[in-house]
Structures are given as structure tokens and as C-alpha cells.
């Protein structure tokens, strides 16, 4: 029977936040970002395991995080890039998964994923031949800047989407995609595309934004207070 496994790459430093701790450990509504992330997957009955991939020298993880879920396992094998961290995580769990099992990769600093949206992703992709990802159709006009930060070009936004996570693909396919990708893929879908496959886009939510800059915490807190987890 096909199972569902989550990988949370959490080996980054979050330098753009300008905080002392990596951003996955920053507080949002009384809990760290990664606690919010683990909670939603713990509550999902279809999810079998949650794998948190940390850097080898992570000094911020505490045993209380381990107690958040009986599904959770921690692996200290993070890489220099996101794709390297995910691939290291895939190697670390190889003995626990089958080739056709689903892997859901979700950002540690994307704590607004709702139970409803996760279930929608699972039900949409469970029988899909390729897999896919949450994403939002772009609503804003896009501008390309020149070297002086002046507008060089206006880009049509038709058919453009902003990728989110989770991104959900079969174990063997995702491992092959990341292993053979030339360079460092910005997300799992890009590596899958390089195999000649077309991931399915599943409409996400604004609250599922990734915390990147300090102001993102205030925006996300307001969104979560309006639409509680």
C-alpha cells in the first residue's frame, strides 16, 4: 500500500530575516514556525512519517520538538542547498520507504498550511501519474529591472504561478530527479521538470506564504488570527 512521507528541509540559516536563530525557530503566535508545520502533518491521518532534516551543527533544536509528534524523526544531514538537504533526507529514509511511496517536501518556514489545503493536495494528487505542488496564480503585474533598478520590461503574467509547498512526488522519481539535475534546483518541481515530466498545479492559499523577511511574520500572524489553524 502506498504511503505518504513528509520531508521538512530545515538546514538553512535564514540570513534575510536578520535574526540570531534560523527562521524556522522564530516565534509565531506563541509557537516556533517549525512547530506549526509539524502540527499540521501530525494531524493528517494519511501522513505516515515526518522527517525533519537539520544541519549537522544545529544548536537550536530542542527535545520538546521531538515530542510534538510520534510520527517525527530528525536527521542531522542537511546540505549546503535546499536540494542537497532534500536529497540527503531521501537517502536517510531509504530503508523506510518504497519506490512508489509519496514524498511531500514542505518548507520549515511556511507555517500557514491548513489542514483543508493539505487534504486537498493529497486527494488531488494521490492517483496522479506525476505528482505536483501547491501554487498561486500571479495577480500582480511583473517588471524586469535593469542594472540601475529601473523598469526594463513588463512581463505578461498570463499562465504564471507562484510555487508553494508541499511539493509531492514519488520517492524513486524525486530521488532520480534531484540526483541527475544539473546544478541546484530551486524546488523539487524544477528537478522533476528536467526529467521531461509535468507536475500538476494545485491552487494554494495566501496564508501558505513562506516567511522570508521580518514583515512576513506580522502579515502571517494577521492571516492566521483571521483564519485560525
* Per-residue pLDDT tens digits of the chain, which is 229 residues long: 899 999 999 997 655 555 567 889 998 988 899 999 999 999 999 999 999 999 998 888 876 666 678 999 999 999 999 999 999 999 999 999 999 999 999 999 999 999 999 999 999 999 999 999 999 999 889 999 999 999 999 998 888 999 999 999 999 999 999 999 999 999 999 999 999 999 999 999 999 999 988 889 988 888 887 765 4
H helices of 21-114, where? 33-43, 63-66, 82-92
pTM above 0.85, yes or no: yes
CATH, domain range 4-226: 3.90.550.10
CA 214 – CA 106 distance, rounded (Å): 20
Cα–Cα dist 33/30, whole Å? 9
The residue among 38, 34, 204 whose CA lies nearest residue 109 is 34
Amino acid at each position: 500500500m502506498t504511503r505518504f512521507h513528509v520531508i521538512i528541509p530545515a538546514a538553512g540559516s535564514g540570513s534575510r530575516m536578520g535574526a540570531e536563530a534560523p527562521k524556522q525557530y522564530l516565534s509565531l503566535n506563541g509557537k516556533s514556525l517549525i512547530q506549526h508545520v509539524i502540527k499540521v502533518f501530525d494531524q493528517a491521518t494519511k501522513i505516515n512519517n515526518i522527517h525533519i532534516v537539520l544541519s549537522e551543527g544545529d544548536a537550536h533544536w530542542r527535545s520538546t520538538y521531538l515530542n510534538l509528534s510520534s510520527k517525527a524523526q530528525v536527521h542531522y544531514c542537511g546540505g549546503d542547498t535546499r536540494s542537497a538537504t532534500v536529497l540527503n533526507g531521501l537517502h536517510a529514509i531509504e530503508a523506510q520507504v518504497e519506490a512508489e511511496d509519496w514524498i511531500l517536501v514542505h518548507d520549515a518556514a511556511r507555517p500557514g498550511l491548513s489542514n483543508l489545503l493539505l487534504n486537498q493536495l493529497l486527494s488531488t494528487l494521490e492517483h496522479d501519474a506525476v505528482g505536483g505542488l501547491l501554487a498561486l496564480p500571479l495577480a500582480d503585474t511583473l517588471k524586469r529591472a535593469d542594472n540601475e533598478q529601473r523598469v526594463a520590461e513588463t512581463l505578461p503574467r498570463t499562465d504564471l504561478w507562484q510555487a508553494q509547498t508541499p511539493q509531492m512526488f514519488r520517492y524513486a522519481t524525486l530521488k532520480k530527479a534531484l540526483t541527475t539535475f544539473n546544478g541546484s534546483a530551486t524546488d523539487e518541481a524544477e528537478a522533476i521538470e528536467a526529467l521531461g515530466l509535468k507536475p500538476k498545479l494545485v491552487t494554494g492559499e495566501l496564508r501558505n506564504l513562506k516567511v522570508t523577511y521580518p514583515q512576513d511574520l506580522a502579515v502571517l500572524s494577521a492571516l492566521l488570527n483571521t483564519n485560525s489553524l
